[in-house]
Structure 1
Amino acid sequence: MYFVFIDLALEDQAQELRAYLKSLGAEISTEKSPKGIEDDLHKIIGVCDTCFKEGREQEIESALNGIVSILVMIPLERAENLILAFSEKLTKATGYKLGMVTLRVMWLLFQSVDPRSPMRYHVYYHLVQIARSVDQIKHVFKDVDHLKAQFELCPPSNEQMQKLLRLLHDALLASKNGEQAAKVMVELLGTYTTENASQAREDAQRCIMAALADPNTFLLDPLLSLKPVRFLEGELIHDLLSVFVSEKLSSYQQFYQNHKEFVHGLGLNHEQNMKKMRLLTFMQLAEDNQEMPFQLIQHELQLQSTEVEPFIIDVLKTKLVRARMDQSTQKVLISSTMHRTFGQAQWQQLRELLTSWKQNLQSVQEGMTTIAKPQPEGKKQAL
């Protein structure tokens, strides 16, 4: 069965939906409600999950889109409860195929809601829930800036945004998008102020744990400046973050020996931590040494001699460090490296580099001006 509601009055559309749902076993009358279309729709939404049956995906999508087509015709101030109830129903669909159907329907509803309405937030929240259940968050969330643009005309409250960012963080982690998950968590922690930073303890801890566990997150220094993270100073989790930010492998090993149960209690994998700390330690060594003997790498990173070259190859694949190996001299020649921390010293270094470039460009410009300047007639003849 497919629904075509063109040129049908809303009441007639609702009656068709009633008949369809009743044919599937829903406890609903086929008669129109004497109270009007809103009561009709309330009853239809109450049993619309009756159609959530495998093998009927096109039919289901057609029926659910029919409900959307009626919803959007009702003034928003009277449709809010209906939209919430319908959104809740759609999140109850189970299985990938049904989930994809409800994801498309919910996206249609989201696009149909007036951008100036606070209901847009609630629909988007349920949309993210469905996208997470079918691992399709990439089709709903692009980045934090795009997210803010969705609610530019009617921003959610601070509490609502925090709730949404937590959900997005979990969804992105589940889809193995650690980079975007980290950015979302940083955005979440940025919503706290000095006055309520103490309330963000759980979010701050989750942020640190996610950043440490993500194999592709290496720039951890910015976390230390976040107010909720600063509130954790003196606690073991803050100490562990500080090790990953600026210490070497040996410091991590010492921390682990002293606090094994704590590290495992966070759900962190010790071997993965070791791998990450070796990369971070190598980056730190690369900042101070343009040439690194294999022996130094072997000692600092506690590798076997046969493990050095494979390790360097793995480092180069990350593109965190630009370098080349010289097997004949048993050295690594460093071209550039990403800084683990970016503090006052790094800003000064960048300033000096940009100043040097500016001076060089001025010299080139003056030289070109001299060459291009017309020569006096006498000098031309002498030439």
Structure 2
Amino acid sequence: MTTVVPTSEEDPALAVVRFTSELAWADAGPEVAEPQVNRLCMEAEECMAMNKWVELASLMLTSADLIFSKVAEKDLECIFTVICNLVTKSESPDEEFEMAKLISGKITQQPNDKPALRLKILFNLYNLLESPYSQFHIYMKALTLAFNGKVTDCIVPSFKKMDSFLKEWNIGISDQRELFLTISNVLKENKSSAKDSFKFLTRYLATFSGEDAYKMSEAKEEAVHAIVDFVKAPDMFQCDLLDMPAVGQLEKDAKYALAYQLLKIFLTQRLDAYLEFHAANSTLLKSYGLVHEDCITKMRLMSLVDLASDESGQIPYALIRDTLRINDDEVELWVVKAITVKLIDCKMDQMNQVVIVSRCTERVFGQHQWETLRTKLAAWRGNIANVISTVQANKVTEDSPLATQGGMMIR
């Protein structure tokens, strides 16, 4: 956080008003400029005397665009440090918010002019604020500035602390939606991992639950984007999209029903279903930017996972060959690919031509998967309880006064 250290007897705020006024009226000549500068300085003094901090901030920001274009970056940052420090004088959260909104509005007006410096000034302002909602407002301004000014690298690291920020801000569902969707778009602009962008897009979609159809409809296009992002990503093989009401609404939607059907194929069906879908909807897939060969590759891996979860721990080579529509000599290659991307753990029994599966990834993790996990945990718990009972029983026997020694019973 920047600290203002006065270097003269004049108040820093008044000094900024004087400097910017002189800059603004420099071309008018001394006779015109001097009265105007004095007038503005008197207005600033009146604002300070009456604690009218919002009016003072507005006065100081009058020449903001001129400051950005004519002042050196070091001096520019110093000027805005003084302006931003006005929020510390506010007497209520509402007044702080008004000033924060006013200052940030001016800073973000020209996002392509010195965007990194503007972003730095916004973060300085953020650190001076006490109201959580004011902080959230400035953070949203920073996201938009980073996106429009193409300096997303400066803000992406902060996303790691998002859960902590959400606790501090305590914002409502509507603000959360705006936040998650904006972050997802910033990550796309930043060319970050598709998984990172997808994660925040799904968090956005997950906020729609039990809403009326009108409210939910605003998420339709983003739901389709999420489906396309999932299908397109070569390293994503599991998601919860099918369980989300915002995605489920697409199933009977005249415009987007096919997108929902595509998602269902990738999460619940096998390669043959995809090939049949592609034969009837190849133009649609191209419009979504999906490459047929890439989809086949992903569906082969998804189909192999499906085989691993369906069979009783063993998958015949012939079944893999027929399901994935490959040659005999390609079977082990695809098994190795599935192992490499950590979809399955298995051993290949070449003698018996079977794959012995010890673990596989679930494509969806819904109610059925939770119930299966609960059953397994209950069985594991029971086994552990039996082991503990056996150990305790043996210990009691060993500690008994009737214990045997050297084959003889001691009475």
TM-score by length of 2: 0.77
| Offset at residue 339 of structure 1 (A) | 1.2
CA contact (8 A) 1:143 1:180 kept: no
> 1:65 is matched with which residue: 81, 101, 126?
81
1:95-244 to structure 2, matched below 5 A, reads: 98-116=114-132, 118-132=133-147, 133-136=150-153, 137-142=155-160, 145-152=163-170, 155-156=171-172, 158-175=173-190, 176-192=192-208, 193-195=210-212, 196-220=215-239, 222-234=240-252, 235-244=257-266
Q: Per-residue displacement from partner, 1:312-362 (whole Å, max 9, x unpaired)?
A: 333222212122445676654322101113355434432332232122111
Q: Structure 1 stretch 186-195 or stretch 327-336: which is displaced more?
A: 327-336
Q: Per-residue displacement from partner, 1:107-126 (whole Å, max 9, x unpaired)?
A: 2322322235x323321211
Q: Percent identity?
A: 23
Larger radius of gyration: 2
| Equivalent position of 1:272 in the other structure | 294
CA contact (8 A) 1:322 1:334 kept: yes
1:377 maps onto 2:393 in alignment: no
| Offset at residue 218 of structure 1 (A) | 1.9
Q: Per-residue displacement from partner, 1:244-282 (whole Å, max 9, x unpaired)?
A: 110111211111111122222223333332222222111
Distance 1:308 1:10 in 2: 82
The number of residue pairs the alignment matches comes to 374
> 2:362 is matched with which residue: 318, 330, 339?
339
1:36 maps onto 2:58 in alignment: no
Q: Per-residue displacement from partner, 1:138-185 (whole Å, max 9, x unpaired)?
A: 322226633421312xx24x4333222221221233332433433333
Distance 2:100 2:47 in 1: 17
CA contact (8 A) 2:198 2:230 kept: yes
Q: Structure 1 stretch 45-54 or stretch 75-84: which is displaced more?
A: 45-54
- Listed as ranges, the gaps of 5+ residues in structure 1 are none
Distance 1:321 1:89 in 2: 54
TM-score by length of 1: 0.82
CA contact (8 A) 2:115 2:151 kept: yes
Distance 1:296 1:55 in 2: 72
Q: Structure 1 stretch 23-32 or stretch 274-283: which is displaced more?
A: 23-32
Distance 2:259 2:81 in 1: 48
| Equivalent position of 1:352 in the other structure | 375
Distance 1:23 1:212 in 2: 59
CA contact (8 A) 1:26 1:50 kept: no
